[in-house]
Amino acid sequence: MRLRLLRGEVEQFGKIGRVVETIRFGASPAAQLSYILEADGEAEQINTFFADNQITVLVPEKAARNWVESDEVSLRSEQPIENGDAENILKILIEKDFVCLDRKDDPDNSDAFPHPTGKCG
């Protein structure tokens, strides 16, 4: 799972410790998917939970603060997921979203972080 946050979202995460986004697939409330990214003082590692069309990602408060206040680009974690008889690994990546120089008309570019390599990625 990969979350890419624009500058405004990273600032909000730093100020209130929470970002919520919803993707709508139709008019019905059931036809949407939301995610919540939340700094958690009790969390020891990044954890993800899914219920009622909502993904909640909890980040340890100290790691969240360090990420917001630094040039650190991403937070990474792996979470074991039990699936019947097998165990899978959910890879979690939370990133600061960079300007895409290949698509200058991308509306997100105005709130994206300057890209350190000058390339879209």
Q: What percent of the chain has pLDDT over 70?
A: 78
pLDDT at 105: 62
Return the bridge partners of 48, or none: 57
pLDDT at 116: 64
Q: pLDDT tens digits for 69-115?
A: 998 989 999 999 887 666 799 999 999 886 665 555 655 555 565 66
Tell me: pLDDT of 65 over 70. yes
Q: Which CA distances in Å does 65 have to 4, 13, 82, 94? A: 17, 9, 30, 13
Helix 7-16 vs helix 61-69: crossing angle, to nearest 10 = 140
Using alpha carbons, select from 105, 107, 80, 103 the residue that is nearest to residue 91. Answer: 80
How far apart are alpha carbons 70 and 73 in whole angstroms? Answer: 8
Contact 95, 73 (CB under 8 A): yes
Q: What percent of the chain has pLDDT over 90?
A: 64
Using alpha carbons, select from 66, 26, 58 the residue that is nearest to residue 42. Answer: 58
pLDDT at 30: 87
Strand-pair category, 86-96 with 47-51: unpaired
Say if pTM beats, i.e. exceeds, 0.85.
no
112 SS3 class: coil
